[in-house]
Chain A
Amino acid sequence: MSIQALLTQFGDKYVQALFTTWKLTATSFALAFVLGIVITVMRVSPVRPLRLLAEFYIQIFRNIPGASLLILLVYALPYLDMIFSYYTCVLMACTLIPAAFCSEYLLAGMNTIAPGQIEAARSLGLTFLQIIWRVVLPQALRSSVLPLTSLLVSTMLTTALASQVPLNPQDLTGLVSYINTHAVGGVTAFFISAALYCATAVVIGQIGSWIDRKVRILR
């Protein structure tokens, strides 16, 4: 089929799928970001069990393939009497893995902070959490805008896992399988989805570099 024919027949579905992909991406990235911050704070905390727990998390979720994790969430959790919707399972997979990477980037960002600044904060009487919140995290975040931008893009690509489970409406990748079972979309159907992923990634990249220029710390 030509692009034109595909868009006439499945245009609405592409729009819906694009929104599903965006929604999954935005939601899971937001959750991964918050979780990543929590894990990072645990990793640098003075409480050893918290540090160990956080390192354990990183080792697991940095090293597990997304598809395996999704299968575990869909098929293994019910054995623990935890049954989530397919959408929630996809969301969890797309949150748990990027959170580990988010933490890695934030930790790298923290390592750019001169230790003297932490000592200055301690000598002012700030507590651990105040130091994290006021001195460490703001600088770590501002120096990891570019890696976090890449992480947002890769989170979007991870949401293609949604094509492995029945969803309605489907995401961009799921829609391609749908089209190819209902019509002969062929490679063109893939092409449209790929173009939409790429366009989104380019916009994300532009916004990311703009933010990076705005917030970069003069040293």
Chain B
Amino acid sequence: MSEARKEILKNESGNTEIPVIELRNVNKYFGQSHVLKDISLKIRKGEVVVVIGPSGSGKSTLCRTINRLETIESGEILIDGVPVPMEGKALAALRSQIGMVFQSFNLFAHKNVLDNVILGPVDVLHRHRKQAKEEALQLLARVGVADKAAKVPAQLSGGQQQRVAIARALAMHPKAILFDEPTSALDPEMIGEVLEVMTSLAKDGMTMVVVTHEMNFARRVADRVLFLDGGSIIEENTPEAFFTHPQTQRAQDFLNSIKEH
């Protein structure tokens, strides 16, 4: 962990601290199937939490409930201590404070890279277009795709598209960014460039929830690892402790299964 991040965590570690994201006894069903089971979770400012677990364990659903892309049946979700609104403008306003990066990039196919990045700032935050463009170009430079500003998504590689998606999230100055398997759709040679950008965000103190199977990234960057199975948080630990001494058989089995590949 970098010095800057240690500072942030230290400053924020009083008991009165309000978590950026808090889930209280969250339950989610898809029809009959109980997909999130009584999840309680606090994510502090500047923290990087990696969520791992087998396919179908509810990792994506967990991410998506945080900004209410999925509704929940019971429990509470708070952003900076404020309950996530049910719907309408208030919900939209809250969503603008939480960035999201998807497995399949989800860039707007009809807009060039620059316009993808400024859509949120201009339409949601009502920033001046010119200002938004200047900042977008800086963000694109930061993620290493400044030269692609005028291209449309289909002209970019997967790694480049995902970096644009990260710039698009950053342009909203979010309180936290949720990453749902950001490198799973990428060819192996492009995974590194995306993880590098994410690592630098973490160093700069961004609050991040990252669903990933990249164990090296988790070890190097995460402050905490959550192991999800069958919709419950089975284990929660520092990466070092989790990877070297998993407490449960299920976590052990899962780690073995991904090491084999």
Contacts and interface: CB of A to CB of B under 8 A. Distances in A.
A124 B109 contact: no
Contacts of B69: 119, 122-123
A124 B92 CA distance: 8
A142 interface: yes
Interface residues of A, number: 22
Nearest to B104: A116
Given A139-B110, A142-B110, A218-B152, A125 B102 contact: no
Contact of A217 (B94, B104, B109): B109
B51 interface: no
Contact of A135 (B92, B108, B154): B108
B175 interface: no
Interface of A is mostly: helix
Interface in B80-99: 88-89, 92-99
A134 B100 contact: no
A123 B168 CA distance: 11
A217 B107 CA distance: 13
A123 B110 CA distance: 18
B108 A125 contact: no
Which of B92, B96, B97, B109 has the most A CB atoms < 10 Å from its CB? B109
A219 B95 contact: no
B106 A120 contact: yes
A125 B124 contact: yes
B120 A117 contact: no
Chief secondary structure at chain B's binding surface = mixed
A138 interface: yes
A219 B123 contact: no
Q: Which of A130, A142, A218 has the most CB of B within 10 A?
A: A218
Given A116-B102, A122-B69, A134-B123, A127 B92 contact: yes
Nearest to B151: A218
A134 B92 CA distance: 15
Given A218-B155, A219-B154, A126 B120 contact: yes
A126 B123 contact: yes
Nearest to B69: A119
A114 interface: yes
Contacts of B97: 125
B124 A124 contact: yes
Contact of B154 (A119, A130, A142, A218): A218
A50 to B, nearest CB: 16
> Which residue among B94, B97, B123, B168 has the maximum number of chain A CB atoms within 10 Å of its CB?
B123
A113 B109 CA distance: 9
A-B interface, 6 closest residue pairs, ranked by CB to CB distance from nearest: A125-B96, A116-B106, A218-B154, A120-B106, A123-B100, A124-B120
Interface of A: 113-114, 116-117, 119-127, 130, 134-135, 138-139, 142, 217-219
11 contacts: A113-B109, A114-B109, A116-B104, A119-B100, A123-B95, A123-B100, A124-B120, A125-B97, A139-B109, A217-B154, A219-B154
